[in-house]
Structure 1
Amino acid sequence: MEHVPNDAVDPTEAVDGVHLSMLAGGERMNVQHFFVEPGSTVPEHSHPHEQAGFIYEGTLTFLVDGEEYHVSAGGSYSIPGDEPHAAENRGDVPVKGLDIFSPPRENPAWQGDD
């Protein structure tokens, strides 16, 4: 079993106002926490990993293939691998949530380990 205590994780500001923390992971998936400040944007990107997530505070607007998807606290989502997507916090409160990636994201560019 892998256990990652809260005080062992330092968030990384991947882009202005978007804070990410890599949490526990296994051979087939890993978990990432995110905190998106009001007015902040995750630029369009893609990755080979499937991504499923859960929002527990605020509302995040996803932009996928010309469509907008508003995911509020208590809502979840999934994004297929290699699908370009972006996200925006258009609200006035931070957005907090969790993402699960499969296969695991190892050394994502935002960690600066590449």
Structure 2
Amino acid sequence: MERVSLDDCDPSEAADGVRLALLAGTDSMNVQHFEIEPDATVDEHSHPHEQTGFIVAGELTFLVGGEEIVCGPGDSYAIPGGESHAAENRGDETVRGVDIFSPPRENPNWQSD
């Protein structure tokens, strides 16, 4: 068993106001914690990994296929691998949550994917 505490991680600044920390993982999936400050944006991107997530605090607006989907505390979501998506924090509160990627998304280059 692997145990990884968020307190032991050094988050990466993926974009202005967007911090990501890779947590525990296996050969088939891994967990990532994220914090997205008010007015911060995750630019449109895609990756081959399936992505599921859960919002703990704040509201995050996803932009997928021309549609806007707002997720707030207690909401989960699933994004198929290869589907282009973006996200924006349009609120006044920092968004906090977790994502699970399959296959694992290890050491991603945040600037290019």
Residue 61 (structure 1) aligns with? 61
Give runs of ≥4 in structure 1 deviating > 6 Å.
none
Q: CA deviation at 1:106?
A: 1.9
Please give the alpha-carbon distance, in whole angstroms, between the structure 2 residues aligned to 1:85 and 1:16: 18
Q: Could you list the per-position Cα deviations for residues 30-49 of structure 1 after superposition, in whole angstroms to 9, with x for gaps in the alignment?
A: 00000000000000000000
* TM-score (normalizing by structure 1): 0.94
Q: Which moved more, 1:54-63 or 1:3-12?
A: 3-12
- The aligned amino acid for 2:57 is E
Q: CA deviation at 1:6?
A: 2.8
Please give the alpha-carbon distance, in whole angstroms, between the structure 1 residues aligned to 2:43 and 2:105: 18
Q: Could you list the per-position Cα deviations for residues 26-67 of structure 1 after superposition, in whole angstroms to 9, with x for gaps in the alignment?
A: 011000000000000000000000000000000000000000
Residue 79 (structure 1) aligns with? 79
Question: In percent, how many aligned pairs have the same letter?
Answer: 67
Please give the alpha-carbon distance, in whole angstroms, between the structure 1 residues aligned to 2:30 and 2:75: 19
* TM-score (normalizing by structure 2): 0.95
Please give the alpha-carbon distance, in whole angstroms, between the structure 2 residues aligned to 1:48 and 1:22: 17
Number of residue pairs aligned between Structure 1 and Structure 2: 111
Residue 34 (structure 1) aligns with? 34
Matches for 1:5-20 after TM superposition, within 5 Å: 5-20=5-20
Q: Secondary structure at the match of 1:109?
A: coil
